[in-house]
């Protein structure tokens, strides 16, 4: 079986073109949309991602401020910074980069981000709005999975989707988004007994556990669609996903690549959310 590659570059380019046009329209009548990136880590992968976000913002006409609190920042310092940026009318959007310092919980500090500026949908309030089906920003990575499937005309209504991973930033919100699309969702995790027995019954498998090579050919039914959300550092310094791609190709009908699949769509959606926040603040 030929396995189609569900690339995200074309979709990301379309989203970025619209975002750039809307950002220019805002700038023509006032300040550019502004994103505050709050960083409290010295993780190299996070530094690379933050730098890529800044470059993406610059290309699209979005102002981006990096606020580096240091890897030893306390929960109180992080909450104070997020609260100050939330209260600043010059800031349209806020993103808190992870991982956080040891002992600092995301759900604790993220509650200090105003929902109207929480463009990555990480605060308990934003997640609650999503679970309730109410208007708010949703985690961009989860949204990217749904948008990529729609872009490639893969139907979701009535289909069984297995989500491998239950984090608050991908797995759980993705399950909510898939339910809103009328999919039947099974959420698997590290305590799931016989993972392959469950995922191999699904028509769509989403790997979002943060473990390289976790999903292999034995986890996938013939003809299933596989979405790889993982971004794990390989031994050679490159990036690999949660899917063992070689064992899945030829069995799955379609597979999203790493890199080049979910990643560019996630970044594009984050930038779109920034402009969304700026437009809502102006109205």
| Residue stretches of the annotated binding site for NADP(+) | 165-167, 231
Longest CA span, the chain: 57
The binding site consists of: 165-167, 231
User: How far from the centroid of its chain's Cα atoms is residue 195's Cα?
Assistant: 23
Residues 6+ apart with CB under 8 A from 257: 5, 6, 7, 228, 245
Angle in degrees, CA 39, 146, 205, rounded to 5: 100
Helix (H) or strand (E) holding 36: strand 34-39
- CA dihedral over 124, 128, 129, 130, signed as positive or negative: positive
Q: Which string of b and e fits 110-130 if b means at least 16 CB within 10 Å?
A: bbbbbbbbbbbbbbebbbebb
């Amino acid at each position: 079986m030929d396995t189609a590659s569900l690339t995200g570059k074309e979709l990301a380019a379309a989203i970025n073109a619209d975002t750039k046009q809307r950002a220019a329209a805002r700038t023509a009548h006032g300040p550019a949309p502004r994103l505050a990136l709050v960083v409290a880590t010295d993780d190299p992968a996070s530094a690379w991602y933050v730098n890529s976000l800044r470059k993406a913002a610059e290309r699209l006409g979005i102002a981006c401020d990096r606020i580096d609190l240091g890897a030893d920042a306390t929960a109180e310092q992080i909450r104070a910074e997020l609260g100050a940026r939330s209260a600043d009318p010059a800031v349209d959007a806020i993103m808190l980069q992870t991982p956080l310092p040891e002992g600092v919980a995301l759900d604790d500090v993220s509650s200090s981000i105003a929902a109207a500026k929480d463009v990555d949908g990480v605060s308990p309030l934003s997640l609650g709005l999503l679970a309730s089906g109410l208007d708010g920003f949703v985690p961009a990575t989860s949204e990217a999975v749904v948008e990529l499937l729609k872009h490639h005309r893969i139907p979701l209504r009535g289909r069984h989707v297995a989500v491998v991973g239950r984090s608050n930033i991908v797995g759980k919100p993705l399950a909510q988004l898939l339910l809103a699309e009328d999919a039947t969702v099974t959420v698997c995790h590290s305590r799931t007994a016989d993972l392959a027995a469950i995922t191999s019954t699904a028509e769509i498998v989403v790997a979002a556990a943060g473990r390289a090579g976790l999903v292999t050919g034995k986890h996938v039914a013939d003809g299933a669609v596989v979405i790889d959300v993982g971004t794990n550092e390989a031994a050679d310094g490159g990036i690999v996903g949660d899917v063992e791609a070689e064992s899945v190709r030829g069995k799955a009908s379609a597979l999203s690549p790493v890199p080049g699949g979910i990643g560019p769509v996630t970044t594009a959606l984050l930038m779109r959310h920034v402009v969304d926040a700026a437009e809502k603040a102006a109205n």
